[in-house]
């Protein structure tokens, strides 16, 4: 589906699609890839800058694509997580590009301590983290930047030479996330709008209903538009049918989380607290006890309580009501 044109250091490689869309892949873990993308028309744009450690590779990536730093006019962030915005500051310094992101993503891009507080250590009474863990996350970020362009649908950018970017709102994994569609190549580029399901920890979603709505939206978009390939941050390249199959499997995964939580709360003799539900969900779904899973379970509990399945009888303590 693309031509690998160069292998860089530490297992990173560059792939070209149709000459206008380029992908840089580096291993996030031995099993999980991490991608950033470059779109080239009369000028170029980057989609995400991933980790601070990626920065030395980005110059080689641009060279391989025949793009000068000054040709990069915009850095589009899919969302504000640390492994997607990590080289924003230095890449912006090299290129003088504008930073673009969904308006709801700006607070985390512009204030990394806020991101850590609201994302990684959102329930310090349950999961305070360790100084080593905090330092590890902070090391993936090279510095804060101001967001210059606040994106909302139906934003489109004409890059020239028939190349264009359309921004699509796909919240759920986080409260504000954008996908990008390059129409001339039929490339749909996503960050974490569709999360990993077979990782040793929960990749996570903050908003269950929004996440499911984004899955449905991506399905409809792939059916109704020319999608030659889906380029996701943590998945291999997929054709349209592979992408649709993935969406079905992720939707089933969310249903499995729902049912696991229901069984735990319904089976309790009294109310059951968030920490207990989180620990039992992780145990039953064979996931590590980790902050992303805590965020996911908390979001499911809140939505299912609002839907009338549970009642909240004390702070972060839930009892079965049923339907």
Where does the chain hold its CATH 3.60.15.10 domain(s)? Answer: 3-252
Q: Is the pLDDT of residue 166 over 60?
A: yes
Measured torsion, CA atoms of residues 270, 271, 272, 274, in degrees rounded to the nearest 10: -170
pLDDT by residue (tens digit) across 245-256? Answer: 999 999 999 999
> For the segment 26-70, what is each residue's pLDDT rounded down to a tens digit?
998 889 999 999 999 999 999 999 999 999 999 999 999 999 999
CB 2 within 8 A of CB 23: yes
C-alpha distances out from residue 169 to 163, 164, 179, 208, 314, Å: 20, 17, 6, 15, 35
CATH architecture of the domain 3-252 equals 4-Layer Sandwich (3.60)
Residue 52 to residues 83, 99, 138, 143, 219, Cα–Cα distance (Å): 8, 16, 10, 9, 32
Q: What is the pLDDT of residues 169-212, one digit of tens each?
A: 999 999 999 999 999 999 999 999 999 999 999 999 999 999 99
- CATH classification number, 260-320, choose in 1.10.10, 3.30.200, 1.25.40, 1.10.260: 1.10.10
Torsion of CA 299, 303, 309, 313, to 10 degrees: 70
Report pLDDT for 154: 85
As given in the structure block, the two tokens for residue 38 are: 């470059």
Q: Give the residue-averaged pLDDT of 66-95.
A: 98
pLDDT of residue 323: 57
Residue the block writes with tokens 């990590």: 86
The pLDDT of residue 5 is 74
Tell whether the model's pLDDT for residue 321 goes beyond 60: yes
Q: What is the mean pLDDT of the chain?
A: 95
- Where helices occur in the chain by DSSP H, the ranges are 55-64, 82-85, 88-95, 106-110, 112-115, 131-139, 208-224, 240-266, 274-284, 291-306
List every span in the chain annotated with CATH 1.10.10.
260-320
Strand ranges of the sheet holding 98-102, from the earlier edge strand across to the other edge? 3-7, 13-17, 21-27, 33-40, 44-47, 72-76, 98-102, 149-151
Tokens of 192: 């974490």
Q: Which residue has the tokens 């000054």?
A: 70
224 Cβ neighbours under 8 A, 6+ residues apart: none
> Measured between alpha carbons, how far is 47 from 37 in angstroms, rounded to an integer?
5
* pLDDT the model gives residue 1: 65
Tokens standing for residue 199: 């990782």
Task: Tell me: pLDDT of 314 over 70.
Answer: yes
Greatest Cα-to-Cα distance within the chain, rounded to the nearest angstrom: 65
């Amino acid at each position: 589906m693309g031509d690998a044109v160069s292998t860089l250091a530490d297992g990173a490689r560059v792939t070209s699609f149709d000459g206008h869309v380029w992908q840089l892949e580096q291993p996030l873990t031995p099993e999980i890839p991490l991608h950033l993308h470059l779109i080239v028309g009369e000028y170029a744009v980057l989609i995400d800058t991933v980790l601070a450690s990626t920065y030395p590779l980005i110059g080689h990536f641009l060279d391989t694509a025949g793009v000068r730093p000054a040709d990069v006019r915009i850095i589009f962030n899919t969302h504000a997580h640390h492994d997607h915005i990590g080289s924003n500051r230095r890449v912006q310094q090299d290129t003088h590009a504008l930073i673009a992101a969904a308006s709801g993503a700006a607070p985390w891009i512009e204030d990394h301590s806020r991101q850590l507080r609201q994302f990684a250590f959102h329930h310090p009474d349950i999961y305070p983290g360790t100084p080593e863990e905090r330092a590890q996350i902070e090391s993936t970020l090279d510095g804060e930047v101001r967001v210059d362009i606040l994106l909302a649908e139906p934003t489109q950018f004409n890059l020239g030479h028939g190349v264009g970017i359309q921004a699509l709102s796909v919240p759920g994994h986080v409260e504000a996330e954008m996908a990008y569609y390059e129409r001339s190549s039929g490339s749909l580029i996503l960050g974490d709008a569709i999360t990993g399901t077979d990782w040793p920890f929960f990749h996570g979603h903050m908003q269950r209903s929004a996440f499911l709505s984004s899955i449905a939206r991506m399905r409809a978009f792939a059916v109704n538009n020319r999608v030659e390939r889906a380029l996701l941050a943590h998945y291999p390249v997929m054709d349209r049918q592979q992408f649709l199959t993935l969406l079905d499997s992720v939707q089933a995964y969310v249903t499995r989380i729902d049912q696991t939580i229901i069984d735990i709360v319904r089976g309790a003799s009294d109310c059951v607290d968030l920490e207990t539900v989180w620990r039992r969900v992780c145990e039953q779904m064979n996931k590590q006890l980790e902050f992303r899973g805590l965020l996911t379970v908390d979001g499911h509990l809140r939505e299912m309580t609002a839907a009338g399945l549970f009642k909240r009888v004390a702070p972060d303590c839930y009892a079965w009501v049923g339907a």
